[in-house]
Structure 1
Amino acid sequence: MQDFEFKRHFRLTRSTFEWLCCEIIPHLRREITGPGIVGLAWEQKVDASLWFLATGECFRSIGNRFGMGESTFSYALRDFINVIVTKFLAEKIVFPNTESEINEITSGFKGTGRIPNVIEAIDGSHIPIKAPHLFPVDYFNRKGFYSIVLQAVVDHKKSFLDICVGWPGSTHDSRILVNSNLFLIKI
């Protein structure tokens, strides 16, 4: 697959993909499916999971594309997501807590947007989902579809500083903010 095609399908460059594999593969579980039966290759889990996250393709199609059943892919995706969250959330998504970090960000915002005294940009996004069986009305948002909400905070370089995800689509932005880790941070 050509590099441009790879990026189009996986939504990241081949070098970023290789870096991600090196970072997370040691943390993925290798299922033992029985005597003499080999579980999924780690790369297969990463490939299939990234393909799903980039395309939203259904589990059956991904299973066919990457040579695994739907339920096997479901477990592989869950494992992949758990590793991403546990490995990167605490390590890579960190709110600034020193005066020098805060000064760097405020200077960055002042330089790029000519806005003084800003240390973050915050917004929310609705991630479409199928209507859940339990409490579907809670997930129906004001835009007319079922969703969960992602609240994200970035710095002047568009690096994530905080995320909060999972609230039902009908939840007001202010409620999500007040219940997020961001609201607890004292600067």
Structure 2
Amino acid sequence: MNNRKKSRPLTRRLFRDRLNPLDFMTDGQIIKNYRLDRASIYDLYEEMQDDLKKSTHRSSSLSVSLQVMIVLRYYASGSYMNVIGDAHGVSEMAVSRCVNAVSKNITGNIQRYLKFPVSNVNKQNIMYDFYDINEFPLVLGAIDGTLIRIKAPSVDEHLYVYRKGYHALNIQGVCNSNNRFTNVVARWPGPTHDSYIWND
């Protein structure tokens, strides 16, 4: 009787075809699923190309364009990572790595994307634009806050428990007349009062 273990037959590893959604989706579908238009997504590709391109010899590494699309879908839908992975032909772990890498890239270059008006000319233009909307004078931005649910932090986790019993950040945002963010503050625990964030 042969006691040696039978070795499993080698099977060729197959990779699913990862199509870029921009290649086959209409403009309307792109905005619906990713919340940005085609040109804005291309701009993101270009800006993140050097930071996100992986130096690997593996044929299965994710392109920068696919990484960005995965993360935009995750942001837009708020769905589970395994659902996003299934939609793009990648694993849940790959989605997690993409979200981490792209999010760090965005926050590390936040000044490129968010610019509060500082020159008098920019301020005047924004005030004129707001006045054109509804004749409301001297407006530089529309401000609001929202709670974003988070995992419990490892340090001072009790500070982040919102009154409804979950951990959250209280995020404050300012938009201009074109619905573009000009300022975002995303560092305060959920229970922090809006007026405190504004005064700070």
Same fold (TM over 0.5): yes
TM-score of the two chains, using structure 2 as the length reference = 0.73
Residue in structure 2 matched with residue 21 of structure 1 by the alignment: 45
Quick check: 116-125 or 134-143, which moved more? 134-143
Mapping of residues 1-187 of structure 1, within 5 Å? 1-3=24-26, 4-30=28-54, 32=56, 36=58, 38-87=60-109, 89-132=110-153, 135-142=156-163, 145-179=166-200
What SS class does the counterpart of residue 45 from structure 1 fall into? helix
Q: Could you say what secondary structure the match of 1:166 adopts? A: strand
Query: 1:31–1:40: 8 Å Cα contact kept in structure 2?
Result: no
Alpha-carbon contact 2:70-2:84 (below 8 Å) kept: yes
TM-score (ref. length: structure 1): 0.77
Q: Report which of the two structures shows the higher radius of gyration computed on alpha carbons.
A: 2
Residues matched between the structures, number? 176
Q: How far apart are 1:130 and its partner, in Å? A: 4.5
What are structure 1's unaligned runs of at least 5 residues?
180-187
Matched to 1:25, the amino acid is Q
Number of the residue aligned with 1:185: none
Give unpaired runs (5+ residues) of structure 2: 1-23
Q: Secondary structure at the match of 2:146?
A: strand
Partners of 2:169 and 2:187 within 8 A in 1: yes
Residues 1:96 and 1:42: Cα distance change in structure 2 (over 3 Å): same
Closer, same or farther: CA 152–75 of 1 in aligned 2, 3 Å: same
Identity %: 27
